[in-house]
Chain A
Amino acid sequence: AQTVTQSQPEMSVQEAETVTLSCTYDTSESNYYLFWYKQPPSRQMILVIRQEAYKQQNATENRFSVNFQKAAKSFSLKISDSQLGDTAMYFCAFMKGVYGTSGSRLTFGEGTQLTVNP
């Protein structure tokens, strides 16, 4: 079974600064996907960024980027130029390949509450 661990329950950062959220996972699979989801106070689950395991290049989406270390099974999220609207719970998630029953489940970490201070 896969496990996802986020070791930082809470973090804070000053507006305009950079913050990195940590995530480690455990799997024996070779084909999988990793995600970061944002959950603001509205509780909506918003996909921030995704990474395909077979791609070595780290994914980026505007101010959000990841550091994907496949051998170390690490998938950290870097938020640059933090904004007040980035205040939210952030979840790291894992999914096996998309086909068949193996692709049915997202396995989530415990979450990291990020607060951006003015």
Chain B
Amino acid sequence: EAQVTQNPRYLITVTGKKLTVTCSQNMNHEYMSWYRQDPGLGLRQIYYSMNVEVTDKGDVPEGYKVSRKEKRNFPLILESPSPNQTSLYFCASRRAREDTQYFGPGTRLTVL
């Protein structure tokens, strides 16, 4: 089944404790992105990747890191999480010459 998976789905952590949210797709898509969703703001892009070893900032990159060492994986790293990073996070992917993005199921992160 073609899909985008994220882990964990739920995470409660404390300020300053490094964490990684994994994202994996099995569709051989070139483009991958991370978004965060906050009430009244819709979804905003954090980082994106156009292919292996090619990443760039989105609209709200502060406090986040990403890497793209393999085509299928695009982890989101919070090296020192803060309460303002409490949010719902989505990973998405798409093929280079197509417009439809496929979203993962979301990760609910709470930083205390």
Please list the residues of chain A having a beta carbon within 8 angstroms of any beta carbon in chain B: 4, 9, 33, 42-45, 47, 50, 52, 91, 93, 95, 98-99, 101, 103-106, 108-111
Contacts and interface: CB of A to CB of B under 8 A. Distances in A.
How big is chain B's contact interface, by range?
A: 20 to 34
Given A44-B106, A106-B35, A106-B92, 18 more contacts: A42-B105, A44-B105, A45-B43, A45-B90, A45-B103, A47-B101, A93-B43, A95-B101, A103-B31, A103-B99, A104-B31, A105-B45, A106-B33, A106-B43, A106-B45, A106-B101, A108-B43, A108-B44
* Interface SS of B by simple majority: strand
Interface in B73-112: 88, 90, 92, 96-101, 103, 105-106, 108
Closest 7 CB pairs of A and B: A108-B42, A45-B103, A104-B48, A108-B43, A33-B99, A43-B106, A105-B45
Interface of B: 31, 33, 35, 40-45, 48, 50, 56, 58-59, 88, 90, 92, 96-101, 103, 105-106, 108
B88 A43 contact: yes
Given A50-B99, A110-B40, A101 B50 contact: yes
